[in-house]
Structure 1
Amino acid sequence: MKPPKLFTLLLILALFVSSCSTVLKSSKIDYLTSNYCQPTIQYDYSQLETPQHKIQKQDSILNANISKHDLLVSKAIGIETYLAEYLQIKKDTLKKLVLKQKITDRLMLTTIEINALASELDCNGERINKLADFVDDINNKRTKNLTVASVTLGALTTVATVLIKNNNASNIVGVSGGLLSAGLGALTISPKGKKINLRLQRNLLGNIWYNDNSNETYPNSIWTIINEKQFSNSGENDLQESIKNRWLQYNFNGKIDSETQKLFFDDGGIYSADDLHSRANMLNELQATIRSLEQDLKSLAVRLNSF
């Protein structure tokens, strides 16, 4: 084989294994980038009955019967007036039974809200993690192909330099093949990797990052609790601040640029496999925090059951 033809063959081989579009496109990608975890309906809380008045001595009655923690939960889920009325009634009357049912219904609704939000976070965590695994598999196959191509290219270059009689041609093939082989080897060490175009219409992480629930993605009861410092173990930062600080330190090494912020907390963009894994972990961490709110409800429920 003549040197120019051999050089062309080596070049084509190198280009074949290292080319193609960086952003993946397929029906599998389309299915997973579509947010099938998003609720199919918009929740309507306008019909929810919420007391607009305080009864006489409401605060003193509640403070005398429940802890500050349970009082804050009562206010967050909108039962403090019902509870105060209930405690004020001394005898078992129909009104007392009605009030107890309203309190129970509101506790149940809040539990459903917690589970619904946690389920959406769980679904999204699994969806994004599946995408990350899909990209990882493709990148691993690409790295394997680059390794095989690099070894093959090195072997062909060695054989060619031995067989070619012309010293100049032999040197050209040897140097060219060596450079191409080294380039492929470098790609296996630090591969560019394939990526995913993921657009976000409903970004549950964004509400936490910007401390903004104006789009009412989170139920008001949950949003109120995660923005109250009394519900955190430290009492210094509320749950929203604590989650954001952990993300900043552990996912972004203490600083974040505007592009990364847009990628994770706004409308998305081009994600690498590592980015996808990070997003999945953040969704799962937020899910765990939301589920932990049931402990706060349990405290109140246990106290109410004692009345």
Structure 2
Amino acid sequence: MKQLKIFIVLFATALACSCSTVLNSPKIEYLTSNYCQPTIDYDYSKLEVSQTKLPKQDSILNANLSQHDILISNAIGIETYLTEYLQIKKDTLKKLVLKQKITDRLILTGIEINALASELDCNGERINKLAYYVNGINNKKTKNLTVASVTIGALTTVATVLIKNNNSSNIVGVSGGLLSAGLGAMTISPKGKKINLKLQRNLLRNIWFNDNSNGAYPRSIWAILNEKQFSNSGKNDLQESIKNRWLQYNFDGKIDSETEKLFFYDGGIYNADDLYSRANMLNELQATIRSLEQDLKSLSVKLNLI
């Protein structure tokens, strides 16, 4: 019976070690703090944006710009400046002032795109690092369980041969077999370690719910993301397209309320796979934001030819 107790203790110890726990260490604490978040809040409400419709504005713009470039002009707030600029035939001081205002807005929008993309890039790298760290710990645990299973199997074989008492030998053989099988099963379907990730600023949430009421995205970028003509298909705007891709490729076409809260609200307990998914979503959104520079390029090239 002494042998049976030993195996029971070993099995209980292995089972306790395999249970899913939330990791807590200086590395986890460092990476779960959002050092990518801007250190200041941007007040876009004070940004000068020309919104006054001038007579014949539409006809003037249509005569000189494509519909794509007109929509970009509207999104970044330079429609009125462009109309005035195009009405002035000679190089005057007013024309130079208008050109400078247009150029300033183009530059600022480019900065806004790069700033938002940089934040997404930083968060993608941060979350990916977390996923790699958690996954490494899980792989190490699986390796240890495999070694323990093989070792216990070998010891059980030796013990059953050495123990002369048939009852004790049978008890040791059965107990050791169960323990080895249990450890083997844990390597096939390990629960894995997890982390508690709180999200103070969740840029994925704005896209998922199509809501920028918190002002996380600059008005110009948000306007472009919600215009169908800026997508290749022309059927869905960029915000809808991103959400649909997430739904299909990250959540297999459906998402439950708990998963939605985990990814698009304030965070929670993530496993390694969840972290990898979040990192991929951040990187995909970053790529879309960076692609908006192509739209600015189209307008900038046209303006240099007028």
Q: One-letter code of the match for 1:59?
A: D
Query: In 2, distance between residues paired with 1:26 and 1:33?
Result: 11
Superposed CA RMSD in Å reads 1.4
- Aligned partner of 2:236 in structure 1 is 237
Change (3 A) 1:52 1:9: closer
Q: One-letter code of the match for 1:7?
A: F
Query: In 2, distance between residues paired with 1:256 and 1:207?
Result: 17
The alignment partner of 1:255 has SS state of coil
The farther-off stretch of 89-98 and 9-18 is 9-18
- Aligned partner of 1:78 in structure 2 is 77
TM-score normalised according to structure 1 size: 0.96
Q: One-letter code of the match for 1:100?
A: K
Cα shift at 1:6:
3.6
The alignment partner of 2:294 has SS state of helix
The alignment partner of 2:45 has SS state of coil
Query: In 1, distance between residues paired with 2:305 and 2:273?
Result: 50
- Aligned partner of 1:166 in structure 2 is 165
Question: Is 1:141 the counterpart of 2:140 in the alignment?
Answer: yes
- Aligned partner of 2:35 in structure 1 is 36
Q: One-letter code of the match for 1:137?
A: G
Alignment of 1:1-307 (within 5 A): 2-8=2-8, 10-11=10-11, 14-15=14-15, 17-19=17-19, 22-307=21-306
Cα shift at 1:12:
5.5
TM-score normalised according to structure 2 size: 0.97
The alignment partner of 1:292 has SS state of helix
Identity score, percent: 82
Contact 2:44/2:219 (CA < 8 Å) preserved in 1? no
Cα shift at 1:3:
2.1
Structure 1: runs of 5+ lacking an equivalent: none
Structure 2: runs of 5+ lacking an equivalent: none
1:21-75 residue CA offsets vs partner (Å, 9 max, x unmatched) = 6110001100000000000000012331122322221111101110000000000
Q: One-letter code of the match for 1:85?
A: E
Query: In 2, distance between residues paired with 1:132 and 1:40?
Result: 25
Change (3 A) 1:72 1:174: same
1:71-104 residue CA offsets vs partner (Å, 9 max, x unmatched) = 0000000000000000001111110000000000
1:178-220 residue CA offsets vs partner (Å, 9 max, x unmatched) = 1111010011111111111101111011110010000010000
1:135-189 residue CA offsets vs partner (Å, 9 max, x unmatched) = 0111111011101110111111111111222222221211111111101001111
Change (3 A) 1:12 1:190: closer
Query: In 1, distance between residues paired with 2:17 and 2:162?
Result: 26
Question: What count of residue pairs does the alignment treat as equivalent?
Answer: 306
The alignment partner of 1:46 has SS state of helix
